[in-house]
Amino acid sequence: MSQIQERMKKLGIKQVDMILELRERGITVQPPEMSSIIRGVYTYPKAKVVLDECDKILTERERKRESQ
């Protein structure tokens, strides 16, 4: 399991929730593509952009959770 997957699981964030959040931030990704990116199968430049943004989203949610 990737670090992104583990963090999503801890926060109770589903892949579809992450896709919707990415879309709000201007990054369009389809469910099969997202799955491949998270698993490390899809490694093209778009994958780095998606993973970087996922990390930002998860960091924001983790900080929000800690401050509650």
The predicted-structure confidence for 23-64, as pLDDT tens digits, reads as follows 999 999 999 999 999 999 998 999 999 999 999 999 999 999
| Rg, Å, the chain Cα set | 11
Query: What pLDDT does residue 68 have?
Result: 82
pLDDT at 22 over 90: yes
State how far the Cα of 18 lies from the Cα of 15, in Å rounded to an integer.
5
Question: Residue 2 — very low, low, confident or very high, per pLDDT cuts 50/70/90?
Answer: confident
DSSP 8-state class, residue 13: -
Query: What pLDDT does residue 64 have?
Result: 93
Query: What pLDDT does residue 43 have?
Result: 87
